[in-house]
Structures are given as C-alpha cells and as structure tokens.
Structure 1
Amino acid sequence: MKKKMILAVLALGIFASSCSSDDDNTSSVNSNLTLNLNGLEALGSDFVYEGWLIVDGSPVSTGTFSSIDFPQTFSVNTTQLNEATTFVLSIEPAIDSDPDPAATKILAGDFSGASANVDSNGIVGNFSASTGTYILATPTDADDTNEESGVWFLDNSTGTAVAGLDLPTLTDGWKYEGWAVLDGTPISTGTFTNPTVADDNAATSVFKGDVGNGPGFPGEDYLQNAPAGMTFPTDLRGATIVISVEPSPDNSALPFTLKPLAHAVPTDASVHTAISMGIGPVSEISGIVTKS
C-alpha cells in the first residue's frame, strides 16, 4: 500500500500539467470531501495548504485553505472524487501563478473505500528511528573560556568526531534546521539536508567567531551579533536543543511544527562531551480524509 501511495505522489510531478479544473467531459455534479487533520500549524499570510486528488495518475486540486480548524469540507467533482486513489496535501504560495503542485508535500494517503488515512511519514520522512547527539563547544574562535556558547551535532565519544544525527533523507521541498531555545526564544543553528556535512550557513553565519567555520557538521557558535534582547557569548546549559523539519521555501523564521528531536541541556553539562538527544514533541502529522 505504501509503495502505491509513493508512486501516486510521484505522479504529482510527472503529470502536474494536468491539474486543471474539471474536464469539459466530466460531470459537473459535486460531492463533499472532508478533511480532519491533526498537527498542522498556521502558515501566515504568504502560504496556504492545498489538497490534491490523484485521479488516473494525475493531480486534481480540491482547493486551498489557511485555517487549521478541522473538520473542513470541500465541494469536489463527484466523478473525480469517486475515481481518486490518493489524497495529498501540499504547501503553496498564497499568490501562486503556477497551477502545478509545489514540491513541499506534507501529507499523503491512499483511499480505502470512502476514506484515506493520511500522514507525513511517507511523503516527508519517517522519524521513528531518528537519534541525535551533540556537544557544547565554540570551535570558531580562539577563546576557550566560552565553550558552553556553541552547539555542534557530532559525536566525539570514541575520540574521533562523527555525525551526531541519524535522520532519514527528506523528500524534495524540505530541510532540517537546528535550534537553541534560549529563555523561550529559538535561535537557528542553520539548515541542512545532510547531517554528515556542514550546514548551509557554515561560512556565512553572523553568530560564529572569526577564526574559522567549525567542524564539518551542522552546528553554531553564538559568539557575536546577538539578536535584540540577547547577549552573546551565552550559556546553553539549561536551554533546549531542537531539530525541526522545515518547508523549503520556509514559511516562517520560527521552527515548523515537525520537531523529531529535542533535548533540554543539563545545567551541569560538560563541554566537549557527547550528549544524547531525545524524541521531539512532534514527529508525525496525520489525519483522515473522507468522501461523502
């Protein structure tokens, strides 16, 4: 069943040009499609959610929405609804001149009779086996007195630094992002798709020191140019370290709802020492889509 769903989702890209309004030869009689989804977050004014039916391998839009209050019901062509094999939910620009589905797809599931159980596992990533390790250190400066002001997602417990994050490869339209939550304010460590190499802002971070870019893994030194209301260097002991999954392009400067890994840094944590992360607050989004 999962293979069937993935193949159907791939059809969104292959047959995207056919996702138009009801075909002239299709009955104009409509029926209801009801969405009852859990875990979505508001996208702000720049993006909306859009539902898609896979009909004969091609995507057909069921309409856009921005409210995350459910259930929500949409009027959809009856013939297309009856023939639909899969439902997919994507994130689209609010002003969108492209009728094709965006790469950022967040939910999918195959219909069984009149309903489909949809989730983010097959279309974004399955995070049930994800693990994380990090150290406190500030390798981008020459000062050894502020090592608790940086976080790096690596494991040095064997004496040699290796990747500290074991995460699934994300589908197109998504990136990972690390965060340090200081006094309730999340500050990004940078985005990445591969946890075994440096993150996207390794060479351009305004927070890091002036000596270098740090090790070849995701992470950040909070040493200078602190946001308003904060002071760098800081002390990450007592802060919360988070790995989130972000839409790309991103809808917000804040963490997205998917957060598969998180950990409160112990107040007595030692620097340069491997610290294990725990399961995050949200690793899956799910729901039920019903034809009626």
Structure 2
Amino acid sequence: MKKLLLGVAALATLAFTSCSDDDDTPSTSSLTLDISGLENLGDEYRYEGWIILDDGPVSTGTFSVDDSGALSQISFPTNTAQLAAATNFVLSIEPNPDNDPAPAATKILMGAFNGNSASVNSDNIVVDATSSLGTLGASSGKFILATPTDMDDTNEDSGVWFLDNSSVSAAVGLQLPTLSAGWKYEGWAVINGTPVSTGTFTDASMADDNAATSPFKGTDGNGPGYPGEDYLNGSAAGVTFPTSLKGATIVISVEPSPDNSTAPFTLKPLAQPVAADADVHTAITMGAGPVAIISGSVSR
C-alpha cells in the first residue's frame, strides 16, 4: 500500500510539472507614457497606443484624458517579446467604440525607440517634416477684415479672410505645411472669449469646406477662393451677427478629421489679436499660436 501511495504521488508531481512546462502564457512588461498637452476627446473618441513591429502595428491599449489633461492610464501591460522588438511608438485617435483593429489615420504622436525609450512628438502630422515648412512652428499667415459676400460697405470689420492683398492682386495668406491624412486646418474668430469657426480646409490657396454652405455669410456669392468667413447673418455661441471682429483674436488650429468638437483642438500654430483700430481691407500679420507641437516620452 505504501508503494502504491508513493506511486500516485509521483504521478501527481509529474502531471503538475508537465502542466507547468506546457504553460505558454506570454510574459508582459509595462509600457509607460509621459505625455502632456493632450486634450479631452469626449465620450466618442479615445487615444490608442501602438507599438510598430516588422510585421505591423500592435495595440498597447486605449485611454482617455480629462479636462485638466491627466491621462486615465499611463502604464500598459504589453507582450514582453513584442515590446522588446518594437521599433516605433504611435498614438492615434480612435472612435469609441471602435470596430477596426487597425490604427486610424489620425495619428497624433510618433517616435522611434532608442534603447528603452522613445521621444514622441506631433511633427508626424505634416507630410514632410524635413522641408522648410515641415513643422507647424514654421507656419506664418496674414488675413484681412472684409465682407465680400454682401454689397454693404458699412460692416467690413465683420468678416475675416486669410489672404494677402499687399500686392496688386490677392494672394495666399497662409503659409502652412501640408497635413497628413486624418487632419485638417480650421480658422477661428474668438469673439468675447468664444471661438466661432471660419471653416475647415486642407489647402490655403482654395476656399474652405463650407464656402457655399456657411449660415453666416451674405447673399452675394461665396467670397474669394481662400479660407475665411463673413459673420453677417444668424448667431453663434450667443453672438448675434453682424459683429465687429475688432478686439477678437483670429486663430488657425489643426483639427482631427473627423472631429466631434465645436471647439479648437490643442494644436494652434497661429494666432493674432485684432487691434481696436485695425484697418479693414489691409493685411494683418499673424503671430505664433500658443501650441505648435505636442511632445512626450514612452518607456519600456
């Protein structure tokens, strides 16, 4: 009987050892984010991290950001072998819920791993970061106050158009880098602290996306073939039009596309207050905006 019991115990030990040897559960390591400057995307979108391997991207998980800029999660358990083999880190903006396992086009941060860390920034949202206009910080711009969509010359300070009329004929007013897929520019007039959109666009030499459908413009055409807006009809954010833009601040932002927010996104490469005595029909030069880049680091 004693020998039988010993035999059973030996078999049990062997079985346990065999199960342990066959446990193929992959080990995980922590991927940690140290990023500031991200904004609250609301309930319809989430940020999602990705590590890039030779055979494609692997998600590291999603997170949200509150109104103070704090991330809901900064450390993410990630397959150890995949994390060690990763060459780059990418942060995208994804719909919530998201049925597509691949990264969205709206990639806001990117950087290559150097050892156990990666410096990431938003320069990847432009097509050619090595060109003279390859960063948002190299942007420049001009605009005029005018209302070309009506025949009334008494309210010329109620419209803003991103063009330069310093020469004989109108020319492009904004010098901006070409954006990658998933992003658009948007103009804003911040009136009494409230931002009101002038419309979105991808090419500063063409009219913006709402040129023909703007609810604020006059009835005499769509205006010149450049981004801009006449605030002549209706109202927005408690402001009734027409309204003078003197004292307002004119802003160019970079927006995710699609965009679920009626407010400007974090990235604002250009901004310019309009002086109370600003002349209409005269080019006004824009200054640097408050945020031209978001940056941070990722460690593994």
The superposition leaves residues 118-162 of structure 1 with CA deviations (integer Å, 9 ceiling, x where unpaired) of: 000123461121101000000000000000000000000012100
The answer for the alignment partner of 1:204 in structure 2 is: 213
**Does structure 2 conserve the Cα–Cα contact (< 8 Å) formed by 1:27 and 1:77?**
no
Q: Which residue identity does 1:160 align to in structure 2?
A: S
The answer for the alignment partner of 1:74 in structure 2 is: 76
Structure 1, 158-167 or 70-79: larger mean CA deviation: 70-79
The answer for the alignment partner of 2:264 in structure 1 is: 255
The answer for the alignment partner of 1:36 in structure 2 is: 34
Higher Cα radius of gyration: 2
Aligned residue for 1:179, secondary structure, equals strand
Q: Distance in 2 between matches of 1:36 and 1:240?
A: 32
The answer for the alignment partner of 1:143 in structure 2 is: 152
Structure 1: tracts of 5 or more residues without a match: 1-25
Q: Distance in 2 between matches of 1:93 and 1:155?
A: 38
**Does structure 1 conserve the Cα–Cα contact (< 8 Å) formed by 2:196 and 2:237?**
no
The answer for the alignment partner of 1:220 in structure 2 is: 229
Q: TM-score, normalised by structure 2?
A: 0.87
The superposition leaves residues 180-219 of structure 1 with CA deviations (integer Å, 9 ceiling, x where unpaired) of: 0000110000000000000000000000000110000000
Number of matched pairs: 267
Deviation at 1:229, TM superposition (A): 2.2
**Does structure 2 conserve the Cα–Cα contact (< 8 Å) formed by 1:108 and 1:123?**
no
Q: Distance in 2 between matches of 1:123 and 1:215?
A: 28
Deviation at 1:179, TM superposition (A): 0.2
The superposition leaves residues 215-255 of structure 1 with CA deviations (integer Å, 9 ceiling, x where unpaired) of: 00000000001125212110101100000000000031110
Alignment match of 2:44 (pick from 27, 43, 46): 46
Aligned residue for 2:240, secondary structure, equals coil
Q: TM-score, normalised by structure 1?
A: 0.89
Q: Distance in 1 between matches of 2:260 and 2:51?
A: 24
Q: Distance in 1 between matches of 2:48 and 2:116?
A: 20
Could you say what the CA RMSD is over the residues aligned between the two structures, in angstroms? 1.4
> What aligned pairs does 1:129-208 form with structure 2 within 5 A after superposition?
129-208=138-217
The answer for the alignment partner of 1:88 in structure 2 is: 90
Identity of aligned residues (%): 66
Q: Which residue identity does 2:112 align to in structure 1?
A: D
Q: Which residue identity does 1:34 align to in structure 2?
A: T
The answer for the alignment partner of 2:102 in structure 1 is: 100
